[in-house]
A and B are shown apart, each in its own frame.
Chain A
Amino acid sequence: MINPPRVGELRAELISWLDVHAEEIAPPYRGSGSLAEQMIQLNRVKRLLWDAGYMGWGWPERVGGRGGPAALRAVVGEEIVERDLLVSGFFSMTETLAPTLIGFASEELAAEFVPRLLSGEEMWSQGFSEPGTGSDLASLACRARRDGETWVINGQKVWTSLSQYSTRCLLLTRTGTPESRHRGITAFFVDLDTPGITVRPLSIMSGSDEFAEVFFDDVVVPDARRVGEIDGGWAVAMALLPFERSTAFWHRTAFLQSRLQTVVAAAPDDDHSAVLLGEAFAQLHALRCRSRATVRRFDDGATLGPETSVDKVLVASVEQRIFDVARELDPLAVALPDGPDGDRRRDEYLYSRAASIYGGTGEIQRNIIARRLLDLGDE
């Protein structure tokens, strides 16, 4: 095995590789592109990075990775995202999907499938939320019933990002009694072409159809595709949080950095703009300091816990702040956009409205901070 590079070394090497391959790796479309084009570009960039060896750093060798700390993945994502080569949120989904399989699936299952995700051969989705289950995830109802060596799944999922482009789905199901809450949930790794599965894209206000509803009608899944223990699915779902909040958030800071850069490049030279930009810049800096400390703690083997709710509140508020400033300084670009890049600015502004909703709402995070970090007891 080759010793993993230091973060700075990897960054420098990647930057020169990206410069050399700039034309090859650039999106073939102007502006945002269609969702279908974005997906092709996502998988193409992952493939190029995989073939060049960059995509494997930070992942264990038993799933085809090259080892080394998670900071290596954080920095690869940062450089890719800041160059606008793909949709940052789509790229970062690897950060939450792969670890779940690595941590909880059988060794064979992880070794067979994780390389496909890392190399851009496949995309996966995550089936957690349901129409009746938003913030209260432990109330989920999509049912899995044991039948010999298989399970039969019935129910509905929603907000399963990119399911229409995915080959598999990490699914949370109810295996205990309806009242069993977090004690009666089991996770499965389901092929989305299994008979009985219907995927219906969900139209969202920012224009893209990246979310989907997924319906399960007597879907048969082998027990070998179970991820984690029976009734142990809550642990699987919770285990992805440290990954989301370390490497994936670091990627997001790179996206925010590039968007603040766009605003600064065209901002009017006046005091009002200076105040707004100064505030946004300071907040982004705070987020980066926070996120760097979290990535480092993660790599040092610390258990990331409720304190990462602070990271989550910061990332959401900084994202909304930056796009609020973008809109305030150039309202026309959001209201009546012109050209492909204009569409993107409107869409990204609208998408930023969801930053305090997805992945645990701002209210849930503040509840966690109050109860777990400030010791304010129960409500």
Chain B
Amino acid sequence: MDAEDLVLLATSVAAAIDSDATAPTNDDALGQLGWSDMLVAEPVAAMAVVFGQLGRAAAASTVLDDAVGHAIGLSPGAALVHPEWATAALLARGDLAHLQLAGTAARSRIAERATVQIVMSDGVATVDATSVDLLDGPAESGLARVDVDGPVTDWTSHDPWLAATAITAARRAQAHQLHGLASGMLDLATEHARERMQFGRPIGSFQAVRHKLAETHVAVEAAGDALAANDEDDEADGLVVDLARVLSGRAAQEAGRHCQQVLAGIGFTRDHRFHRYLFAAIDLDGLYGTTAGLTKTLGQQLIADRTVPRVIDL
């Protein structure tokens, strides 16, 4: 897909999703746009555009399940139980007659399906939805903690590398979404800085405000460049994706801090859209590991190898 196609796709995705709509509504809209086919034909571009735009609009959706499922050959629409929040690794198969584990899931998708799939390090387990207990959580969160407690009705073994591709797919999707969220927050704060008058002038004319936004712009651009580098390569390995994921997570944190400050009082209300971005960034930054946790893992790898790899080259 060339740059022009990507822009066109981004425009149609942006038009299809609605930041005020529920996750199932946006999932349907993306489905009508051909999300499943896109994921098969052009997984890298599809993920970049769809998750990037979901972030930019802070729109609710559960299509992360499709992206992860696609990586390990599940059919689109499967409802997944992801690892426990803030946990980077997948669990290994336990007692298939009576599987017991804690995880995280997209609330609306789990609620709608009869069966649920659990991606594990050595295979995919299918359980009845009745075996999955959705725990209470913040109403605005699309994710929920879940307890799985019941028999596995179907089991497909796979190699550990396939499980690793599921994690990479999840982090790639999240990196785009976190980058989109950071970028969306920066747009909100920049617009506010241009329009909000204090002391008889727009607050964006004060250097203290300008520099906070400039700092955010640098973090957003840095993450975007790392994402572009990882999208160049369909076969990008885990390291390239993890670096982009860490940088996007960092950009979302920087944007959250600086943009909140620039938006000040209005940004602290639920009248302004900013809170949705912050909620989404808080939610996302824990599936398949947190930014802080992944950063530490990157450093541990450097220390173990005593080498700094040249991850990309001219």
Which A residues lie at the B interface, using CB under 8 A? 7-8, 11, 71, 74-75, 78, 250, 257, 260-261, 264-265, 267, 269, 271, 273-279, 281-290, 292-293, 295, 307, 310, 313-314, 317, 363, 365-367, 369-371, 373-379
Q: List the B residue with the shortest CB-CB distance to A290.
A: B225
The chain A residue sitting closest to B305, CB to CB, is: A264
Interface-side segment among B71-79, B108-116, B118-126, B201-209:
B201-209
Residues of B with C-beta under 8 A to A367: 207, 210, 214
Contact with A along B185-229 (1 / 0, CB 8 A): 000001001100000001011110011011101100111011011
Are A376 and B205 neighbours in the complex by a CB distance under 8 Å? yes
For the complex, give the distance between the alpha carbons of A317 and B284 in Å.
Answer: 27
Give the Cβ gap from B294 to chain A, nearest Cβ, in Å.
8
Q: Which 7 A-B pairs have the closest CB atoms?
A: A278-B299, A274-B299, A370-B210, A286-B222, A278-B298, A277-B299, A366-B214
Per-residue CB contact flags for chain B residues 161-196 toward chain A (1 = under 8 Å, else 0) read 000000000000000000000000000001001100
Contact at B312–A282, with CB atoms within 8 Å? no
Task: Count chain B residues whose beta carbon lies closer than 8 angstroms to a beta carbon of A.
Answer: 44
User: How far, in Å, is B48 (CB) from chain A's closest CB?
Assistant: 15
Given contacts A250-B314, A277-B299, contact A377 B218 (CB under 8 A): no
Of B217, B297, B299, which one neighbours A373 at CB under 8 angstroms? B217
Q: A11-B313, A269-B303 are in contact. List 17 more A-B contacts (CB 8 A).
A: A264-B306, A267-B303, A274-B297, A274-B299, A274-B303, A278-B299, A279-B295, A281-B302, A285-B311, A286-B222, A289-B228, A293-B228, A310-B221, A370-B210, A374-B190, A376-B190, A376-B194
Task: State A278–B296 Cα separation when bound (angstroms).
Answer: 6
Q: Are A278 and B297 in contact (CB under 8 A)?
A: yes
Closest residue of chain B to A250, judged by CB?
B314
Contact of B152 with A by CB under 8 A: no
Query: Can you list 30 contacts pairing A with B, beta carbon distance less than 8 Å?
Result: A11-B313, A257-B308, A264-B306, A271-B300, A274-B298, A274-B299, A277-B298, A278-B246, A278-B294, A278-B295, A278-B299, A282-B246, A282-B250, A282-B295, A285-B243, A286-B243, A286-B247, A289-B226, A290-B221, A292-B312, A310-B218, A313-B214, A314-B218, A367-B214, A369-B214, A369-B217, A371-B210, A376-B204, A377-B205, A379-B206
Q: In this assembly, does B292 line the interface, its C-beta being within 8 Å of a C-beta of chain A?
A: yes
Whether B211 pairs with A363 at a CB distance below 8 angstroms is yes
Q: Does B310 contact A (CB under 8 A)?
A: yes
B202, chain A: closest CB distance, angstroms: 7
| Contact assessment for B308 and A283 in the assembled complex, using a CB-CB cutoff below 8 Å | no
A71 to B38, CA, bound (A): 34
A133 to B226, CA, bound (A): 37
Interface residues of B (CB under 8 A from A): 190, 193-194, 202, 204-207, 210-211, 213-215, 217-218, 221-223, 225-226, 228-229, 243, 246-247, 250, 292, 294-300, 302-303, 306-308, 310-314
Distance between Cα atoms of A274 and B304 in the complex (Å):
10
User: Contact partner of B299 among A261, A265, A275, CB < 8 A?
Assistant: A275
A-B contact count, CB below 8 Å?
155
- A371 surroundings in chain B (CB, below 8 A): 210
B214 contacts A370, C-beta separation under 8 Å: yes
* Contact present for A378 and B314 (CB under 8 Å): no
Main secondary structure of the interface of B (DSSP, over half): helix
How distant is the Cα of A310 from the Cα of B216 in the complex, in angstroms? 11
Residue contact A274 to B314, C-beta cutoff 8 Å = no
Report chain A residues within 8 Å CB of B228: 289, 293
Query: B205: nearest residue on chain A (CB-CB)?
Result: A379
**Distance, CA A310 to CA B193, complexed state (A):** 20
User: In the complex the two chains form, is A370's CB within 8 Å of B213's CB?
Assistant: yes
Q: Is the CB of A374 within 8 A of B218?
A: no
CB pair B299 A292 closer than 8 Å: no
* Docked pose: A294 CA to B204 CA in angstroms: 28
A317 to chain B, nearest CB (A): 8
Contacts A285-B226, A290-B221; is A273 near B314 (CB within 8 Å)?
A: no
Chain B positions within 8 Å of A276 at CB level: 299
Identify which of A71, A267, A275, A314 contacts B314 (C-beta below 8 A). Answer: A71
Neighbour of A281 across the interface among B205, B223, B250, B299, CB < 8 A:
B299
> Which of chain B's residues has its CB closest to A269's CB?
B303
Tell me, in angstroms, the Cα distance from A373 to B299 when the chains sit together: 33
How many whole Å from B204's CB to the nearest CB in chain A? 4
Closest-CB distance, B305 to chain A (whole angstroms): 8
Q: Shortest Cβ distance from B218 into chain A, in angstroms?
A: 5
Contact of A273 among B250, B295, B303 (CB under 8 A): B303
- The residue of chain A having its C-beta at the shortest distance from the C-beta of B223 within the complex is A286
Would B225 and A377 count as touching, CB distance under 8 A?
no
